[in-house]
Amino acid sequence: MIILNVTQSALAGLRISRHTIWGLLAAVVGVLILVWLSQASAGLAMFWLFGLGYGFLVQRSRFCFTSAFRDLFLLQDGRLMKGVLVGLGVATLGFALIMHRAVPDPSQGITGNVYPTGWHTLLGGLLFGTGMVVAGGCASGTLYRMGEGYVAQWIALIGMIVGSFLLALSWEWWWPAVVSRQPKIWFPQVMGWGGAVSITLLVLLGLYLLVVWWETRAGGIVPRREAPAPAATFAERLRAGWETIFVRAWPALLGGAALGVLNILEYLYKKPWGITTAISRWAGWIAYVLGYPAQNLLYYGDKPAGKQLLSHIPWQSGGSLLDWGLIFGAFTAALLAGEFKIRFAPRRRYVQSFLGGVAMGYGARLAMGCNIGGFFSAIPSLALNGWVFGLGLFGGAWIGVQIIKRLP
């Protein structure tokens, strides 16, 4: 009885807000879906779980590659870009261990997100980088902002679906004329494991220092926030811990490192993180359901040219469940933080989001990867295509910033 009274007294200061209750209910629903999926397939359940994790992390750290590139040009703010570089470094170390275990002798094969690299990779990066700034979110940023209630990002996703299908229609030319003729350049095959990992990490370190120099030179240093007053009671300590994890935004460096670790875990389980391959299959399935023979398109045919549409039914596809899980994870995190709200925008903003989404969808599938599969998972895969796509992202983001500066 004494223990009960002490506990009640200690917890008396806790007040549970309405948005916290809704967030906890959403978390319960997410777990129930996980249990239901596990009854059908452990693999599907795992991809749903990874999606929830990614959604929670990107929402809590406000981690968007669009902001990372755009803020360098607009605000001389490099916080998110430094988070991206840290995430790439962490993932590089983990990926190297996984890949080395799979292919100790790199001359015997290739593993990871290594794609044909050519001018189409750069063009795809330019289109995607421009589109993500115009649309207001990269592939992962679009999904997590959908979970936060941004209607414009749902329109951007529709644009990505349309852009992916336009690429599928033109893949009949791109694949035989360009993509299939380009080499897959994997650094371990060129300079060995030690050289590939060392040079990748050194370049990432150099870019990190360059970002620090850029924001310092431009006066983009953001002053630190004052630390909150220390908690006095047990209830206050619990509340402070809860707010640190579920309410206050996480530092970008922590978000980037956490995403790098989660990407390593997904690769250890099955494959590196990717987003837009599933979205391109949604485009094919929508066309298929509407009566168009999408399965006959080269893009949706068998490998290596195609993405095997009919063998990846959306509700039985790990990639689809990961993307849906990301949206739901971000939705849950936004509810817990009190940040969920249906947000409408002016009509012209929807047009902007749609057109940006079309450019993202086309560019991502042309380069065979988006800011995640073609960049955040490709550079740690020690693949040249990740760096070429990243160069395109940088140039495209600059173009996108010039466009939005001229928009009303």
Q: What is the pTM of this model?
A: 0.93
As a whole number of angstroms, the distance between CA 122 and CA 361 comes to: 15
Whether 336 maps to a domain, the answer reads yes
Which of 249, 241, 255, 282 has the alpha carbon at shortest distance from 80? Answer: 255
* Per-residue model confidence as pLDDT tens digits over 331-366: 999 999 999 999 999 999 999 999 999 999 999 999
Whether 235 maps to a domain, the answer reads no
Whether 81 maps to a domain, the answer reads yes
What pLDDT score was predicted for residue 12? 47
Residue 9 has pLDDT above 80, yes or no: no
* Per-residue model confidence as pLDDT tens digits over 20-37: 999 999 999 999 999 999
What pLDDT score was predicted for residue 224? 54
Residue 11 has pLDDT above 60, yes or no: no
Whether 174 maps to a domain, the answer reads yes
Whether 307 maps to a domain, the answer reads yes
236 CB contacts (<8 Å, ≥6 apart)? Answer: 13
Whether 232 maps to a domain, the answer reads no
What pLDDT score was predicted for residue 222? 55
Instruction: Cite the DSSP H helix spans in 296-383.
Output: 318-337, 347-366
408 CB contacts (<8 Å, ≥6 apart)? Answer: 348
pLDDT band, very low/low/confident/very high, at 225 (cuts 50, 70, 90): low
Overall number of domains in the chain: 1
Q: What is the DSSP string of 164-201?
A: HHHHHHHHHHHHHHTGGGS-B-BHHHHHHHHHHHHHHH
Whether 6 maps to a domain, the answer reads no
List the domain range (segments joined by +) for residue 321: 17-107+115-219+243-406
pLDDT band, very low/low/confident/very high, at 4 (cuts 50, 70, 90): very low
Per-residue pLDDT, averaged over 200-207, amounts to: 98
Distances in Å between the alpha carbon of 164 and those of 168, 277, 320, 368, 369? 6, 9, 15, 11, 11
Give the chain's largest Cα–Cα span. Answer: 79
What pLDDT score was predicted for residue 29? 98
Whether 12 maps to a domain, the answer reads no
Instruction: Cite the DSSP H helix spans in 42-186.
Output: 42-60, 65-74, 79-102, 119-135, 139-148, 151-177
* Per-residue model confidence as pLDDT tens digits over 259-314: 999 999 999 999 999 999 999 999 999 999 999 999 999 999 999 999 999 999 99
Which of 330, 390, 375 has the alpha carbon at shortest distance from 61? Answer: 330
What pLDDT score was predicted for residue 118? 98
